[in-house]
Amino acid sequence: MKKKPGSQIKLKKNVLEQELCTGCGACVGLCPYQVTHADRTVQLFDCDLQDGKCYAFCPRTPADYGQIRENLFHMDDFTPEIGAVKGYYLSRAADSDLRAKAQHGGTVTALLELAMSEGVIHSAIVSSWNGKLEQEGRPVEDKKQLRDYAKSRFTVSPAVAAFNRMTDDGVQKVGVVATPCQALALAKMKTAKIPGYTKAESLGLVVGLFCGWTLSMEKFQDLLKQYHVSMEALTGMDIPAGKNILELRSGQRVTSVPMAEVDACVRTACRYCIDSTAEFADLSVGAARFGGDCEEMRGWNQMIVRSDRGKRLVDLALAKGVLEIREAPAQALQDLKNAAAVKKSKALKNIVEKSRSAKNLLYLNSDDPVVQKYSGGKKKRIK
């Protein structure tokens, strides 16, 4: 009888060679066979393990999304556009010093600091530049250091690999700041039924980041050269609301790059992603979008509370005055849903074109009600 291909072979054929790899790091740090080089996932050795965790945890391998949702969230909270919504807020850190250092409102860092102070988590995995000016996941055990990592970078960080490498003592709880693909990988870990695998029990909190795409490091470096901005001098990046540009900050200098040029640097895998709000996180945070004053919006976040765990932390943050909450305009949530729906429709169109099939949708199940809703197929009722 012909032997079935092992997990690593399937991962290479169905994900890496198809340019679906997000660089999340879910397959790295599990064994010596998978590593990250630059912003690419590389297989160093051959492995014939039939049911490896590398394939099981990858966010671009098939999974039962409905079952994952039911395991992690209350289905009464579910929306097809942006996943579970237990609460929706405009928020910012109450600490003005933190807001000054943060990307927008500082909500993520404020929540991580509180979670560490209260023992909800004992460490947090955030993204940081390494000595090669590449992003990596970095465990932080001192909450005073969290503010050093409060800026967003828009390039891929294999943050899940850092979680995989952490010692599994069954006691210390870890928080992870995750993009949508990373949050999905962590959700697959939490719901996996793999004999002997217990590491995901140490996940104490997953804070998701809104994300439309990440940049290819090689292409992005070429773009920076065109604008005479060095990677070493880069101190911040932002996409101001209402402006079709990417701002690059280096010291006091601000360079504006048209999004048409930025789009050419987007990783191919991002064009096949249907999640822009980290739907599988405990709570998700992004830049605020409301009103007409761009500078006012820079100081606020949108926050979606998804799980019971996320709600408990936000309730605690409000009780202790760690967060400030602003009433969201009635249209703000609908605008967010509309934007997420557009992302889903575009990604599904790309997936159909790539797979040349309306049934074989790469890593997605064509029977999933969300997929059916946004792919134009016959809709199934979402329970």
Segment 46-66 mean pLDDT: 92
Residue 240 and residue 247: Cα distance in Å, rounded? 8
pLDDT at 133: 63
Q: Which residue has the higher pLDDT, 297 or 371?
A: 371
Residue 49 has pLDDT above 90, yes or no: no
Segment 294-320 mean pLDDT: 90
Strands 123-129 and 236-238: unpaired
328: confidence class by pLDDT, cuts 50, 70, 90: confident
Segment 280-297 mean pLDDT: 78
pLDDT at 162: 94
Lowest mean pLDDT, pick from 7-21, 158-172, 281-295, 344-358: 281-295
265: confidence class by pLDDT, cuts 50, 70, 90: very high
Segment 119-135 mean pLDDT: 85
pLDDT at 151: 78
177-218 pLDDT, tens digit per residue, is 999 999 999 999 999 989 989 999 999 999 999 999 999 988
Mean pLDDT of all residues belonging to the chain: 90
Residue 327 and residue 291: Cα distance in Å, rounded? 12
329-383 pLDDT, tens digit per residue, is 878 899 999 999 999 999 999 999 999 999 999 999 999 999 999 987 555 555 5
Residue 113 and residue 303: Cα distance in Å, rounded? 17
- Among 38-52, 91-105, 110-124, 250-264, which range has the highest average pLDDT? 110-124
The pTM score is 0.93
Q: Which residue has the higher pLDDT, 299 or 336?
A: 336
pLDDT at 293: 53
Q: How far apart are the first and last CA of the chain?
A: 41
Q: Give the single-character DSSP code of 146.
A: G
pLDDT at 292: 55
Residue 92's alpha-carbon distances to 22, 205, 250, 377, in angstroms, are 29, 19, 25, 40
pLDDT at 201: 93
Helix, coil or strand: residue 141: coil
* Tokens 């490091």 -> residue: 217
- Secondary structure (DSSP) of 199-245: GGGGEEEEEEE--S--B-HHHHHHHHHHTT--TTT--EEE--TT-SE
Burial class (CB in 10 A: 0-12, 13-18, 19+), 235: exposed
Segment 247-252 mean pLDDT: 88
294: confidence class by pLDDT, cuts 50, 70, 90: low
- Secondary structure (DSSP) of 34-58: EEEETTEEEE-S----TT-HHHHH-
Residue 12's alpha-carbon distances to 157, 217, 327, 377, in angstroms, are 20, 21, 47, 30
pLDDT at 1: 46
pLDDT at 290: 63
pLDDT at 171: 64
Segment 65-71 mean pLDDT: 96
Tell me the domains of the chain and their CATH numbers: 7-216+266-375 (no CATH), 217-263 (3.10.450.750)
